[in-house]
Amino acid sequence: MSTLAPYSDDVLAADGLDRARLPRHIAVIMDGNGRWAQSRGLPRVEGHRRGVKTVRWIVEECARIGLEQLTLYCFSHENWKRPQRELDFLMSLFEQFLIEERAEIMRQDIVFSMIGRRQGLSTGVLREVDKSIELSRNNQGMRLCLAVNYGSRQELVDACRSLAADAAAGKLDPELISEEDIASRLYTSGMPDPDLLLRTAGEMRISNFLLWQISYAELWVTQKAWPEFRKTDLIEALRDFAARDRRFGGLKG
């Protein structure tokens, strides 16, 4: 990432984009790193390393476009089933990313956050996560949210446990629990719901990602694996989003 000025309306228009029709929040399922590497005779870990390069430019592009939030699905609750060697590499790569990109996050005025369970993550990863969160707390730009050791079903279980504890303590009437109450107990409390969900590598599933939050999100899938995702693909997704008629269950006026 490098420090660059936000795109003007004229620059966006040159790419066929209208600022008024951009999503506030994009969530991305970054899929296909391992398959991309194996198809080229490379070890799976090389796909993850190349995937980090894609993360760097998409963060920069989304910040310059003026999005309010970008959420990246980095490591799922189910990913712990992978070989230990690959897990160790992923944790080391994540810690390295946090250290190397922190200065750029600050230069670009990005607010850093993470969602997911902390249990199981290494001490080094948690240390660097907390450092980035604290240092960027007062920034005013785009929020970069990384979903790490995240699973939406696990998130909903944690939210239910929190609500149940308050109900048992007499702090909450179960009959009065609302959608807003549930949303306030999710890891994403205070964040806008995604307007657009991107998935790479052609997979047509949600994979336990933000199940509550993407209730009304537009879905966009590309056959390209994450390491080969480019700016032209992002622009295509944004154009497609802008052309859709979003009625949220109602009828157009």
Collapse the DSSP code of 145 into the 3-class scheme (helix H, G, I; strand E, B; otherwise coil) and give the result. strand
Q: What angle do CA 239, 70, 119 make, to 5 degrees?
A: 145
Which residue has 């390393």 as its token pair?
Answer: 49
CA angle 160, 199, 244 (to 5 degrees): 95
Amino acid at 170: G
* 171 lies in some domain: no
pLDDT at 174: 96
**Number of structural domains found in the chain:** 1
Q: Is residue 167 part of a domain?
A: no
Q: Which tokens is 87 given?
A: 């897990």
Task: Give me the domain span that covers residue 145.
Answer: 26-157+195-241
CATH number of the domain at 130, please.
Answer: 3.40.1180.10
Is residue 178 in a domain? no
CA distance 86 to 37: 13
**Residue 186 within a domain:** no
> Is 173 a member of any domain?
no
Specify the pLDDT at position 251.
56
* Strands (DSSP E) found in 89-195: 111-115, 143-150
Q: Which residues of the chain have pLDDT under 50?
A: 1-2
d(CA 27, CA 241): 13
Q: Which residues are catalytic?
A: 31, 79
pLDDT of the residue at 245: 85
Three-class DSSP category at 208: coil
d(CA 180, CA 172): 13
Is residue 183 in some structural domain? no
